[in-house]
Amino acid sequence: MNILVVGGGGREHAIIKKIKENKNVSKIYALPGNGGIARDAECVDISATDIKKIVEFAHANNIDYAVVAPDDPLVLGAVDALEASGVPCFGPRANAAIIEGSKVFSKELMKKYNIPTAAFEVFNDAEAAMEYLKTAPIPTVIKADGLALGKGVIIALTREEAYDAVKSIMQDKAFGKSGDNIVIEEFLEGPEVSVLAFTDGNVVKPMISSMDHKRALDNDKGLNTGGMGTVAPNPYYTEDVANVCMEKIFLPTINAMNAEGRTFKGCLYFGLMITKDGPKVIEYNCRFGDPETQVVLPLLESDLLTVMQAVTNGTLADCEVKFADKHACCVIMASKGYPVKYEKGYEITIPDEISNSVYVAGAAIKDSKLVTSGGRVLGATALGESLDEAIASAYGLVEKIHFGSAFYRRDIGAKALAAYKE
Ligand code: AMP
Ligand code: GLY
């Protein structure tokens, strides 16, 4: 089989390595991929959002199955276009990807179907939003409606910060048209859990839970990033919490999408907060998370391509989705200065014997050498019988990898370890 994977980050590298385990796979193309992915797939210089070229490429290269991994091509309708031209795909169509593409849509969906989430108001007018903020409870959370490269959420700790957020999103258009509408919502407290789930619209099969570390620096200090590391499973996702989530969140969400004529097929990501009133949805993503995928897929014992095809065919009920009873830890190595300003072009050395545990995100090939080309450069993932063991092994991998201007958090998994000891 010829497989096409759209995207070019650490998440896509993890998906590609897992798909490669299937013996029927003869060739994998990554569009655009990256310098590190090039070890595992043929990278083709086509942007993940150039849907016309992606479809043309699929035809010219006899693609049997496509996986569309990032949010923007999904929201733009890459799956619709590939399917219309006869290529079966993993990922939701645009009318279902809107669950991530529009926060106003997802909040209204949760309200209509009684799915627990933070209380909220929607505004399309900055003055009305400012007026509301005069008496809103503080802290408050302000979210741009559309995709904003993961930066469209502002937690305002003071009223002034809240006014500034509205000004920046709605008046200065910090995120362009994504900020034409905003959601202002209740500030929730509690540990966060990420749950990625396979769904074909009939059944939902959650993957092993995980915990992201979004801030740039140790002890959750510094700016929000795309994610500096992950562990799986998440200790806060107990069996009781999992049962409540299935009954009150997961099934109601896929039923709601069906009722709206927007059947979701693919990986639905539930960003949850475990509040004192129970689990609530912080956000939905219409795709695998990054870097959650880099700890979840290494623990998957079932064949990924088989599960993906069952999702596409609507036969997920009959397909086993099994995870190892182990722990995983992924430490992201970034370029110093990320997420603001950083240098690129440094040579990366990864010893051959550990390259299978490394998921490359921001690297390019220059003069046949692998060099840094992005903020998040790569993730090193290790498994262990215990979380301690997984963490120690992941940092052991990090010590063997070198590039100029490298930096990483030293405390990935510390919060989860403390939770086990609570
Ligand atoms: P998002 O970009 O939607 O993943 O949001 C980024 C982060 O903002 C989340 O991971 C949470 O830590 C935080 N966040 C979002 N919404 C809320 C909320 N209503 N209350 C508290 N924190 C929130
Ligand atoms: N790690 C969070 C995300 O993928 O959106």
Tokens of 334: 């970034």
Q: How far apart are CA 28 and CA 237, in angstroms?
A: 34
Residues 170 and 258 both lie in one domain: no
Residues 213 and 312 both lie in one domain: yes
Residues 196 and 311 both lie in one domain: yes
* Residue 131 backbone zone (phi > 0: left; psi -120 to 50: alpha; other: beta): alpha
pTM of the model: 0.96
Ligand 1, pocket residues at CB < 6 Å: 118, 141, 150, 153, 155, 185-188, 192, 214, 271, 282-283
Is residue 370 a part of any domain in this protein? Answer: yes
* C-alpha closest to that of 28 among 41, 12, 39: 41
Residues 294 and 204 both lie in one domain: yes
* C-alpha closest to that of 104 among 119, 123, 118: 123
> What's the confidence (pLDDT) of residue 421?
87
Q: Domain residues for 257?
A: 192-318
Strands (E), 210-367: 211-212, 215-217, 221-224, 229-232, 266-275, 278-285, 327-335, 358-360, 363-366
Instruction: Looking at the CA of residue 292, tell me the nearest atom of ligand 2.
Output: 1
CATH code where residue 15 lies: 3.40.50.20
**Looking only at Cα atoms, what is the longest distance across the chain?**
61
Q: Is 247 helix (H, G, I), strand (E, B) or coil?
A: helix
* C-alpha closest to that of 268 among 106, 100, 115, 104: 100
Residues 344 and 393 both lie in one domain: yes
CB-CB contact of 59 with 51 (8 Å):
no
Is residue 105 a part of any domain in this protein? Answer: no
Instruction: State the ligand closest to the CA atom of 120.
Output: 1
Is residue 341 a part of any domain in this protein? Answer: yes
Residues 231 and 304 both lie in one domain: yes
> What's the confidence (pLDDT) of residue 384?
98
Q: Which neighbouring-strand residues pair with 407?
A: 334
* Residue 287 CA to ligand 2 centre (angstroms): 9
Residues 15 and 71 both lie in one domain: yes
CATH code where residue 305 lies: 3.30.470.20
Is residue 162 a part of any domain in this protein? Answer: yes
Instruction: Looking at the CA of residue 291, tell me the nearest atom of ligand 2.
Output: 1
Output the residue whose Cα is nearest ligand 2's atom 3: 289
CATH code where residue 159 lies: 3.30.1490.20
Output the residue whose Cα is nearest ligand 1's atom 5: 153
Residues 236 and 306 both lie in one domain: yes
Task: Please work out whether the CB of residue 227 comes within 6 Å of at least one atom of ligand 2.
Answer: yes
Tokens of 410: 């030293």
Integer CA distances (angstroms), 338 to 149, 162, 335, 344, 375, in order: 14, 25, 6, 11, 5
> What's the confidence (pLDDT) of residue 174?
86
pLDDT in tens, the chain (422 residues): 999 999 999 999 999 999 999 999 999 999 999 999 999 999 999 999 999 999 999 999 999 999 999 999 999 999 999 999 999 999 999 999 999 999 999 999 999 999 999 999 999 999 999 999 999 999 999 999 998 877 788 999 999 999 999 999 998 888 888 889 999 999 999 999 999 999 999 999 999 999 999 999 999 999 889 899 999 999 999 999 999 999 999 999 999 999 999 999 999 999 999 999 999 999 999 999 999 999 999 999 999 999 999 999 999 999 999 999 999 999 999 999 999 999 999 999 999 999 999 999 999 999 999 999 999 999 999 999 999 999 999 999 999 999 999 999 999 999 999 999 87
334 Cβ neighbours under 8 A, 6+ residues apart:
216, 225, 228, 342, 375, 376, 377, 406, 407, 408
- The residue among 292, 318, 344 that closes a domain is 318
Q: How far apart are CA 112 and CA 94, in angstroms?
A: 21
Residues 362 and 416 both lie in one domain: yes
Q: Is 332 helix (H, G, I), strand (E, B) or coil?
A: strand
CB-CB contact of 249 with 237 (8 Å):
no
Is residue 174 a part of any domain in this protein? Answer: yes
Task: Please work out whether the CB of residue 8 comes within 6 Å of at least one atom of ligand 2.
Answer: no
Is residue 99 a part of any domain in this protein? Answer: no
- The residue among 137, 156, 180 that closes a domain is 180
> What's the confidence (pLDDT) of residue 3?
98
Is residue 101 a part of any domain in this protein? Answer: no
- The residue among 73, 94, 115 that closes a domain is 94
* Residue 291 CA to ligand 2 centre (angstroms): 7
Residues 199 and 303 both lie in one domain: yes
Is residue 116 a part of any domain in this protein? Answer: no
CATH code where residue 346 lies: 3.90.600.10
> What's the confidence (pLDDT) of residue 179?
85
Q: Is 65 helix (H, G, I), strand (E, B) or coil?
A: strand
Q: How far apart are CA 133 and CA 167, in angstroms?
A: 12
Q: How many domains does the chain have?
A: 4
Output the residue whose Cα is nearest ligand 1's atom 12: 192
Q: Say if strands 192-199 and 204-206 run parallel, antiparallel, or are unpaired.
A: antiparallel
Residues 340 and 298 both lie in one domain: no
> What's the confidence (pLDDT) of residue 120?
96
Residues 68 and 146 both lie in one domain: no
